[in-house]
Each structure stands twice: as C-alpha cells, then as structure tokens.
Chain A
Amino acid sequence: MSDIWTSRSRIEAALNHQEADRVPLDLSITLNAYINLRKYLGLPAEENVQADRFFEVQPSHDLLEALGVDVTYVRLGKSRNWSPPPPLEDGTVLDAWRVGRKLVKLPGGSYLNEVSYCPLEGLEPTDLDLDSFPWPDPHDPGFTDGLEEEARRLYEETDLALMGRFGGPVMELATYLRSFEGWLMDLILYPDFAKEMLNRIADIQIALDEAGIRAAGKYLSIFKLSGEDLGTQTSTLFSYQVWQDLIYPILARRWKAARKALDKHGGSHVKLMLHSDGAFRPFIQDIIDAGVDVLDPIQGVCPGMELEGLKRDFGQNLVFHGSVDTQYYLPRGSVEEVEQETRNCIDALGKDGGLILGPSHFIQPDVPPENTAAMYRTALEYGKY
C-alpha cells in the first residue's frame, strides 16, 4: 500500500476491506445546509448553486477539502429530446416519467420537492395499457453529453474517488407512478402487474446505467445503484416472501447488469453500492449474493440495523457507507453528542476498513453547520488507523 494516501486510494482501500491512514469520508448535503456550512467554514459564497430535485448539491472541491471528504460524483446530463411540459395549476412540474412534484416550504425558509402527482394512481391494472404509457427514452444522447470528458477530468485533475450515479430507482419509481399506497397494495392484489411495472422500469434504468458506465465506468471507484427504500423505521416494507417472489429477482437483474457493464467497460475494479433507508436486515444476505458490495446509508437506530451487529454478521462481505445519524444527532444533538456519535460509528464499523463514513441521509437545512463540521473534524482525528 502507498505511504502517501490520496482520497482515491483511501476509498479503494476501504472498499477492499483494508485500513488506510484514516477512515475515508463522504458527504451528501442539501442546498441551504450547504450554503450555511460554506459560510460557517469561511469559504466564499457561491452564486447559482445548482441543486437536484431532492435539493441535493454537488459540493465544490474547496468544501470537500476543508472537511476531508474523499468522494465526488458524476451523473447523467439532461435529456436532449425531451423537455418538461408547462407546470400544472398547483405548480406541479412533471418529469420525464410524468411524475409530478411541487415545491413545499419548510420551516426556516428552505424548500423540498415532493411528489404531488402520480400518473398511474388509482387505475385498475386491467384498465392500464402499459404499452401506450409514454416511458422515457433512456437512449437520449443528452444523458451522456460530456460525461466521459468530465469523468476523465476529475480522475486526472483531482485525487478524489469518483462515484457514478446514473439510472434512477426501480421500486421507488413504481411508488411514484402508482402512489405509495397504491403500489404497496399492487404487491398483494396484482403481483403480475407489479412485476410487469418493475420490469419495464428496470429495463429503462439498466439502459441508463449502461450508458453512463460505457462513458465513465473506467474512471469510477463506486457505482451507486440509485435508491430502493426497502425498509420503514421499524421493519421491512413488505414480507420476505414478496421480496423473494417479486422484488428481488428484478432488482438483482438490474444489479447484475450493472456489474456486467462495468466488467465490460474497464470497470471491473468498481464496487456496487445500493442505497436503502430503514430496517431491512432480512434482505441483506440476498443483496450481497446478487453482487452488491457497499450498503448506504445505514440507519443504526432501526431495529436489526444496529451497527455492531451489521459489522459482525456482514462486515466480511459488505462495506458500509454513511451511518452517522441524521434523525436525532445531526439536526438536534449538541456538538459533543455529534462527536460521540461519530466516534461510535467509527468504533462499530471502522475496523479492517470497510467503512466510508458519512451522514445517514442528506444533511438537511435543520442541521447546524457546527454539527456537520464537528462530525467531519472528529472523523479526521478519531478515524486514524
């Protein structure tokens, strides 16, 4: 191993279950929290900070450097052949899947984009013609415009590890199309229809993943398989039987397609990361078996997701990404509590590599910047191997 560690070699050591000089770090943060954090750290204000539909911001490199964050990411570009229709009367804006979102004001003056229109909600599957639904075109050339150049530039000009984030979610998209309640009921009432929906969505997400991987796969360290929230705060979202019969085979098909594309396009070293919130321990072994290497974001407060237990039972085969609690400690804990939480996460998950520390959800605008700074400061000091 190298004597002088770079962000990239540090991340790759952790991904290969080896200890580097310290626990590597990642960050996901939303707009107002980002602006406040820059101010708190004494970094110059930025104009026109771009945020995605979750208000997540891609942090500038000066902030990554100030905190010791080791990862940056590349995403697909904008569609060239599709543009959004005019907003609906209540301000709802439709995306390429015809899912509508509108801005909701949060206390403190920031905003969130929330799903406000589900195009296939309330329709009986027998009345739905999925062939005539205007599915988005994953082969739109706009998605990969400049992607390879950007990935190569970041790879050559920085020592950060690159995370690829290309296709979107599969199951979560089904909840957007059918509504959350409608989709959960489909799983029981119309399982064949639910499978058909998932397969159609998966085909598109796989094509998007493949497009991104073809362009940028060889420059990545981690490929993020979008988000599939499989758990609630207290349990899995559905039974193990529904998972086995219906969900898992289709998600695994998507994950294996990503692995195959990476192997084919110079990314055989790239690790696959799956995101799921909540409590979903009963599914974890299956997730590993389907080729997932990294799990994000690890909510240790959820039953079955306790950090020590996850490390003990899955740590040989699984790298953990995230873990610092965003439901209590970061937004409402004291600086001392955040420091202790950070140390606890490192103690529980850091041994023998296998940990990329970060928040267990996007840092939201209610997180005081001193808490975010305390988390990263503590990790840099306490995370030394």
Chain B
Amino acid sequence: MEEKIQAVYEAVIQGAMADTSGLVQETIDAGFEADVILKEGLIAPMSEIGQKFEAGEVYVPEMLISAKSMKFGLELLRPHLVAADVQPLGKVIIGTVQGDLHDIGKNLVGMMMEGAGFEVIDMGVDVKPEEIIKAISEHKPNIVAMSALLTTTMGNMKTAITMMEDAGVNKGISVMIGGAPVTQDYADEIGADGFGIDASQAASLAKKLVE
C-alpha cells in the first residue's frame, strides 16, 4: 500500500480522530483516486476493526473512535467521490424505532455500514413507521435497518414492516433489525430479512444483502 494511504489506514485503526482528515487531504493532494483512498484508506481498516471486535480484541470504545476517525476522513473525501462518480455499495436508512431513544448500537451499526462502503441515512431515534415509509419514497434505499433496546418497543419493528407492506414500498428492500433483545428467531417471526448480533456482523450482513 502507498505510504500516504497507509497513514490514513493507520489513523483509522488507531482512532486518531484529529489526524484523519488531514491525512486524507494529503492523499488527495498527492493525486490518488478518490475510490482508492476510500477502499484502501477508510474501508479496509474498518473491516479490520470489525474483525477485531468480533474476535474480542477491541471493544466498543475502540470501535467508536475508529469509526469517528473514518467519518472525518469520509466527510472530507465525499465531494471527491461525487466528482469521480464513485457509487456506494448501496443505500441504507437506519433508525431506532418509535418509543425508543437508545442510539449507541444504532450509531455503531450505521458507522460500520458507512465503513463498509454504504451510504447511510440516519433517521435518529424514536422514528415513527410513517417517517420510515416517507424516507423510503424519498431515498430509495436498498436496506432499511431498525434498532430497539427495549422489549416494550421492539414490537414497533413489526408494525413498521407491516406498514411498509401495506404501503407497497417494501419491494426490493431488505429489512434488517438489531438491538439487545432482538434475535434471529424474532427476525424470522416478524418477516425481517436479517438480524445482526453486533455492529460488525450487521455490516457484513448488509453487504450480503446487496450482493
């Protein structure tokens, strides 16, 4: 790997949040293609962080600072990606369901998906099913990802899926769900296409769903 891109890669692995955008700028100034910077400098280290997380070598804090570092670099790179017409892997709408304000899991999943090359539209917390349907019409996503921490709110995932079906906007869209009480059984029960047990596996699953 080229030295300047290697430096971006290392900054993301280390979670050097203050350094990433400056290092990305150096790669741009040095004339690297935007998609190379994205793939080798930003996506590759997030994939490695995800593997380390799954292996129990890093934990949520390290994952957070790496993801934030990646995001700073990506923000700087984004206009160059648009200019070079680099397409994302797919588009994801993500949010915590109605009645639930817990967002650290949802945020991590969103960042890991961005770190895997997706365009992620984060709808925040306490998202009503109607808002999801509206966002589907507006953004035409490949994936809708819903999060819930509470058993009392996870039923709203099912409500949203039913409303998507009733509104006829579910065609060609995969629904992913996650959150502490959520299981594969529950995903099967409510007709979701996928369940991620953690942020890293959610990002891997999203990649499979758009293949």
Chain A positions within 8 Å of B, measured between CB atoms, are 104-108, 110, 112, 114-116, 180-181, 184-185, 187-189, 232-239, 242, 326-328, 331-332, 364-366
Would A104 and B64 count as touching, CB distance under 8 A? Answer: no
Would B153 and A364 count as touching, CB distance under 8 A? Answer: no
Would B197 and A234 count as touching, CB distance under 8 A? Answer: yes
Which residues of chain B are near A105, meaning CB under 8 Å? 99
Contacting residue for A106 out of B56, B99, B104, B181, CB 8 A: B99
In the docked arrangement, what's the CA distance between A365 and B99, Å?
A: 13
In the docked arrangement, what's the CA distance between A232 and B104, Å?
A: 11
A104-B126, A237-B60 as given contacts; A328 in contact with B153, CB under 8 Å: no
Contacting residue for A184 out of B61, B98, B156, B197, CB 8 A: B61
A184-B61, A327-B180, A327-B181 as given contacts; A106 in contact with B150, CB under 8 Å: yes
In the docked arrangement, what's the CA distance between A110 and B197, Å?
A: 28
What string of 1s and 0s marks CB contacts (under 8 Å) between B57-87 and chain A? 0111110110010000000000000000000
Task: Check: B22 CB closer than 8 A to any chain A CB.
Answer: no
Given contacts A181-B104, A238-B61, A239-B61, 5 further A-B contacts (CB under 8 A): A107-B153, A234-B198, A331-B151, A332-B151, A366-B151
Which residues of chain B are near A114, meaning CB under 8 Å? 101-102
Contacting residue for B152 out of A181, A188, A366, CB 8 A: A366
Would A181 and B64 count as touching, CB distance under 8 A? Answer: yes
In the docked arrangement, what's the CA distance between A106 and B68, Å?
A: 31
Which residues of chain A are near B60, meaning CB under 8 Å? 184, 232, 237-238
Of the four ranges (under 10, 10 to 19, 20 to 34, 35 or more), the interface on chain B belongs to 20 to 34
Contacting residue for B61 out of A185, A327, A328, A332, CB 8 A: A185
Q: Can you sample 28 A-B contacts with CB below 8 Å?
A: A104-B99, A104-B126, A106-B99, A106-B152, A107-B98, A107-B152, A107-B155, A107-B156, A110-B152, A114-B102, A116-B101, A180-B104, A181-B104, A184-B60, A184-B61, A187-B61, A188-B61, A189-B65, A232-B180, A234-B197, A238-B59, A238-B61, A242-B59, A242-B61, A332-B151, A364-B150, A364-B152, A366-B152
Task: Check: B107 CB closer than 8 A to any chain A CB.
Answer: yes
Chain B positions within 8 Å of A, measured between CB atoms, are 15, 17, 56, 58-62, 64-65, 68, 98-102, 104, 107, 126, 150-153, 155-156, 180-181, 183, 197-198
Which residues of chain B are near A236, meaning CB under 8 Å? 59
In the docked arrangement, what's the CA distance between A331 and B17, Å?
A: 42
Residue of B nearest to A30 (CB): B152
In the docked arrangement, what's the CA distance between A232 and B178, Å?
A: 13
**Distance between B126 CB and nearest chain A CB, rounded to angstroms:** 7
**Distance between A117 CB and nearest chain B CB, rounded to angstroms:** 12
Residue of B nearest to A361 (CB): B151
Which residues of chain B are near A364, meaning CB under 8 Å? 150-152
Which residues of chain A are near B58, meaning CB under 8 Å? 239
Q: Which 4 pairs show the lowest CB-CB distances between chains A and B?
A: A327-B181, A184-B61, A233-B180, A114-B101
Would B107 and A181 count as touching, CB distance under 8 A? Answer: yes
Chain A CB count within 10 A is highest, among B61, B102, B180, for B61
In the docked arrangement, what's the CA distance between A188 and B152, Å?
A: 33
**Distance between A83 CB and nearest chain B CB, rounded to angstroms:** 26
In the docked arrangement, what's the CA distance between A67 and B10, Å?
A: 58
Would B61 and A104 count as touching, CB distance under 8 A? Answer: no
**Distance between B100 CB and nearest chain A CB, rounded to angstroms:** 8
**Distance between A126 CB and nearest chain B CB, rounded to angstroms:** 13
In the docked arrangement, what's the CA distance between A234 and B201, Å?
A: 12
**Distance between A243 CB and nearest chain B CB, rounded to angstroms:** 10
**Distance between B192 CB and nearest chain A CB, rounded to angstroms:** 16
**Distance between A186 CB and nearest chain B CB, rounded to angstroms:** 8
Would A328 and B181 count as touching, CB distance under 8 A? Answer: yes
In the docked arrangement, what's the CA distance between A326 and B68, Å?
A: 33
Would A328 and B183 count as touching, CB distance under 8 A? Answer: yes
Would B99 and A107 count as touching, CB distance under 8 A? Answer: yes
Chain B CB count within 10 A is highest, among A115, A232, A233, for A233
In the docked arrangement, what's the CA distance between A344 and B162, Å?
A: 35
Would A239 and B155 count as touching, CB distance under 8 A? Answer: no
In the docked arrangement, what's the CA distance between A188 and B63, Å?
A: 11
